C-alpha cells in the first residue's frame, strides 16, 4: 500500500516513575515503544503522528524526562507530532495553565505541536487534512466549515471518555458511545479519541472512530491488553492496526493483594465510599468521577487538583 496519511495514537503517558504493577525495565520498554512509533511514521514517508491526549502521565516532567524525550524525538526530526491535551497533560486539569506544563515547554521548543481550540490543517500530497482539536473538558462540536471539497478530510481529535458499545465499564460511568458520536457528527471522516485505555475501532457509513488505547500496560488489569497504534489512509478512510512489542510476565498483582489486605481491614470505610460495582485503586480517577457527578465551583476544583499534585 501507499504510505499512510497519519499514525493514530493516544494515552502515551510518558512518566518518570515506575507503575507498581511492572516488574521489568519499564522505562526501557517505554522508550522502545515511542521509538517504534516514530520509526513507523518515518517509514511511511515521515507522516504525522496524531496523539489524542495524555502524552504525559503528569503535567510537569522532571528535566531529565523532557531531555530524554527530546533525544528520542530528534532521531526523526522530519516527523511531526500533533497533540491535543488530555487531563494528565494539564496542571490542575486547566487548559489555561498549559504554559506551565511539559506540553507547553515541548511545544515552545518545537518538539511537538499542541492543538488547542482553532482547527489546523496539513497536506499529504494532493490531500488536505483538517483537524478540529477538542482537548480535555471540551465536548464534540460540529465542523465549522460547510461545502467540503472532495480532497479535504476532516478529523476530530478529542480527549473524552468514549466507549465501544452501549454498556458502561462500571456503574455510574459517564461516557459517550462511539456510534452515537458518529451518527451525530457526520461531517467528520475520522474521530480520534483518547482517555479510554481500551482500544477499539467503530465504523459507520464509511466513517471511523478510532480509540487506540494506552501505549503502556501500567496496571495489573491490563494483562491482556495489546498496545497498538493505527495507520490511517485518508483516500479510502481505512486504518490498519500496528501492534507494539511487549514482553510477557512483566505485570504483578502483589501490590494489589497487599492493597486488598489493607482494604479488608478498612471494610467499613470502603462500604461508605464504594458506590460503583468495581472499586478503582486510583484516587485521582475516583476524584474525576466524583467531580463529574457532583460539580464544584471552578476555583474549588482547581484547588483540589493543585493540592493533589
pLDDT tens for each residue of 207-220: 999 999 999 888 88
What does pLDDT average to in each consecutive run of 10 residues of the chain (309 residues)? 93 94 89 97 97 96 98 97 96 94 97 92 89 94 79 94 83 84 95 96 97 90 89 96 87 54 60 53 78 84 83
What's the pLDDT at 13?
Answer: 96
Cell numbers standing for residue 155:
478529523
SS3 130: strand
Among the listed residues 11, 103, 100, 24, the one whose alpha carbon sits nearest the alpha carbon of residue 65 = 103
Report d(CA 125, CA 15) in Å as an integer: 36
pLDDT at 15 (0 to 100): 95
Q: Smallest Cα–Cα separation from 232: which of 155, 162, 142, 117?
A: 155
pLDDT at 263: 63
Q: Distance (Å, rounded) from C-alpha 95 to C-alpha 138?
A: 10
Pairwise CA distance, residues 32 & 68, whole Å: 12
DSSP 8-state symbol, 126: T
Which of 138, 154, 136 shows the shortest CA–CA distance to 146?
A: 154
Sketch out the chain's domains with CATH numbers: 6-243 (3.60.21.10), 254-308 (no CATH)
Instruction: Say what the pLDDT of residue 46 is.
Output: 97
**55 strand-pairing partners:** none
> d(Cα 114, Cα 133) in Å, to the nearest integer?
9
pLDDT value of position 242: 97
119, 133 contact by CB (below 8 A): yes
Residue 277, pLDDT score: 45
pLDDT for position 20: 87
CA 123 – CA 128 distance, rounded (Å): 5
Residue 260 and residue 254: Cα distance in Å, rounded?
Answer: 10
Amino acid at each position: 500500500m501507499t504510505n499512510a496519511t497519519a499514525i493514530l495514537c493516544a494515552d502515551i503517558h510518558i512518566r518518570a516513575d515506575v507503575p507498581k504493577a511492572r516488574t521489568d525495565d519499564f522505562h526501557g520498554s517505554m522508550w522502545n515503544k515511542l521509538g517504534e512509533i516514530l520509526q513507523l511514521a518515518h517509514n511511511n514517508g515521515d507522516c504525522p503522528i496524531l496523539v489524542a491526549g495524555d502524552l504525559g502521565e503528569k503535567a510537569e516532567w522532571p528535566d531529565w524526562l523532557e531531555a530524554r524525550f527530546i533525544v528520542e524525538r530528534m532521531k526523526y526530526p522530519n516527523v511531526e507530532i500533533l497533540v491535543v491535551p488530555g487531563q494528565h497533560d494539564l496542571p490542575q486539569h486547566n487548559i489555561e495553565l498549559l504554559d506551565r506544563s511539559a506540553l507547553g515547554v515541548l511545544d515552545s521548543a518545537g518538539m511537538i505541536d499542541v492543538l488547542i481550540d482553532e482547527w489546523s490543517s496539513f497536506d499529504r500530497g494532493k490531500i488536505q487534512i483538517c483537524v478540529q482539536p477538542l482537548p480535555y473538558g471540551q465536548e464534540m462540536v460540529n465542523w465549522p466549515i460547510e461545502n467540503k471539497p472532495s480532497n479535504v478530510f476532516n478529523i476530530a481529535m478529542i480527549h473524552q471518555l468514549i466507549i465501544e458499545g452501549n454498556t458502561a465499564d462500571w456503574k455510574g460511568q459517564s461516557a459517550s458511545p462511539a456510534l452515537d458520536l458518529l451518527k451525530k457528527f457526520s461531517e467528520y471522516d475520522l474521530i480520534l479519541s483518547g482517555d479510554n485505555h481500551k482500544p477499539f475501532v467503530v465504523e459507520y457509513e464509511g466513517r471511523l472512530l478510532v480509540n487506540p488505547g494506552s501505549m503502556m500496560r501500567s496496571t495489573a488489569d491490563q494483562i491482556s491488553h495489546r498496545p497498538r497504534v493505527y495507520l490511517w489512509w485518508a483516500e479510502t478512510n481505512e486504518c490498519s492496526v500496528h501492534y507494539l512489542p511487549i514482553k510477557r510476565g512483566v505485570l504483578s498483582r502483589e501490590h494489589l493483594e497487599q492493597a486488598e489486605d489493607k482494604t479488608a481491614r478498612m471494610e467499613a470505610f470502603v462500604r461508605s465510599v464504594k458506590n460503583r460495582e468495581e472499586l478503582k485503586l486510583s484516587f485521582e480517577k475516583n476524584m474525576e468521577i466524583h467531580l463529574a457527578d457532583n460539580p464544584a465551583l471552578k476555583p474549588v476544583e482547581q484547588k483540589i487538583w493543585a493540592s493533589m499534585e
